[in-house]
Amino acid sequence: MNFLIGVILEVQEATLMVTRSMRGLFRRPFYVRETINQMDLIGVGSLPIVLLAGFFIGAVLALQTAKTLISFGAQNYTGRLVATSLVRELGPVLTCILLAGRIGSGIAAELGSMRVSEQIDAMRALGTDPLRKLVRPRIIALVVMAPLLTVFADIIGAIGGLIISLTLLHIPTSVYTASAQEALNYNDILGCLLKAVVFGFIVGTVGCRCGLRTRGGTVGVGLSTTQSVVTAIVLILISDFFLTKLILAVSANTY
């Protein structure tokens, strides 16, 4: 019971944090420089690891699926399976899990350090709203950059699957690409971007909330960092289930 009450209170506090940080979104100060800096840190800084993970995920998918398909004489559908797996599920989920580990933990550690060293209290004393200056740029940057990183991961993953199909499975490029194009539709792409936006919002909100509630000095900073990563990953997986059901329901009504 106490756990349930604690969860409800945390959801309430996180909702209030986001609402207050986004209040007056089109009023000065805009903190454009802080937002751009966060986009650079999240997008450019995370791009190498996202591309590396995406490439090998696509390569492994091609290896695993092709071996099964060959036994049925359907190896020409390798591109279809790789593309649909990346775009519908693995691309947004794994990209944002990487962001939770790299960016979410960094946000929690940074804000937690500012909290225990009383820098946030000093900002309030100087008349600066810490939620608008610290929370808003990070959430906006994650919501914007998570879909872009997901698109890059999907593209590189498809290229990784193509390279494996060409070199090890001897599937022609035209067959692979045609199979991938036939499998995907606009609902798949929009669903992928929707998932990435929601997951990015989750990573930003959880990281900021865990950082701002930090207590107990440097030990508390480490605890908040760990809680941020674990909570964000769990929420990503839970929300992925419900988003997938929503997307499938919309797709069924469309067709």
What is the b/e burial string over 82-105, where b = at least 16 CB atoms within 10 angstroms of the residue's CB? bbbbbbbebbbbbbbbbbbbbbbb
Side-chain half-sphere CA neighbours of 11 within 13 A: 7
pLDDT of 51:
96
pLDDT at 70 over 80: no
Confidence of residue 65 (pLDDT cuts 50, 70, 90): confident
pLDDT band for 254, please (50, 70, 90 cuts). low
Q: Is the pLDDT of residue 61 over 70?
A: yes
Cα 194 to chain centroid, rounded: 11
Asked if pLDDT for residue 150 goes beyond 60, the answer is yes
DSSP secondary structure letter of residue 1: -
Q: What is the pLDDT of residues 173-230, one digit of tens each?
A: 898 999 888 888 888 999 999 999 999 999 999 999 999 999 888 889 999 999 999 9
Mean pLDDT for the stretch of residues 225-253? 93
What pLDDT is stored for residue 3 in this prediction? 80
Identify the sign of the CA torsion 214, 219, 222, 227: negative
pLDDT computed for residue 7 by the predictor: 87
What's the pTM value of the predicted model, to 2 decimals? 0.94
Per-residue pLDDT at 193: 95
Report whether pLDDT(45) > 70. Answer: yes
Predicted pLDDT of residue 255:
56
Q: Kindly report, residue by residue over 76-132, the tens digit of the pLDDT.
A: 888 889 999 999 999 999 999 999 999 999 999 999 999 998 899 898 888 888 999
- 200/203 Cα distance (integer angstroms): 5
pLDDT at 29 over 90: no
pLDDT band at residue 1, thresholds of 50, 70 and 90?
Answer: low
* Res. 36: pLDDT tops 70: yes
CA 227 to chain centre: 17
Whether the pLDDT of residue 66 is over 80: the answer is no
